[in-house]
Amino acid sequence: MKTTTIALALALSLAAGNTVAQTANGPDDVIRQLNAAGYKEVRDIEFDDGLWEAEVRSRDGRWHDVAVDAANGELMDDRSGRALLPATRVVADLTAAGYRDVHDLDLDDAVWEADAITASGQRVELRINAHTGKLLSESVDD
């Protein structure tokens, strides 16, 4: 997937990690939302499986990755101070939702990634919001 690189100096305004109540339809929307969340600079914006992913410079001057849900604009940042769901909870929730053989669970910033089998027997790759447990994407595992 092609990566769009954008570097901007952004003014510091609100505390990082807030939910943004707008959709993120494109890179410019993502930049505005990250600006509203207080990030000074944004670069390497990429759209992947329903999420915008960007590298941001936080108040302490360090770079890290955040994700923005394209559907609702929610910001997922593991450094925001918001709680992250533990792996055991994610597996339990996926199992309750009908997935089986949940494995290869990996926390990527504030997004859980997992492989599983659907109730119909199809192997899938899943992405889950690590703050809320919301299923963000399901794609066929090749």
Please give the pLDDT value at position 12: 19
Q: Where are the domains of the chain?
A: 8-76, 87-140
Please give the pLDDT value at position 66: 96
Find out whether 3 and 44 touch, Cβ atoms under 8 Å: yes
Tell me the two tokens of residue 35.
């600006």
The closest alpha carbon to 74, from 27, 114, 110, belongs to 110
Please give the pLDDT value at position 25: 78
> pTM value?
0.78
pLDDT for 99-133, tens place per residue? 999 999 999 999 999 999 999 999 999 999 999 99
Please give the pLDDT value at position 17: 33
| For range 2-22, the mean pLDDT | 27
Cα–Cα distance, 103 to 117 (Å, whole number): 9
CB atoms within 10 A of CB 50: 14
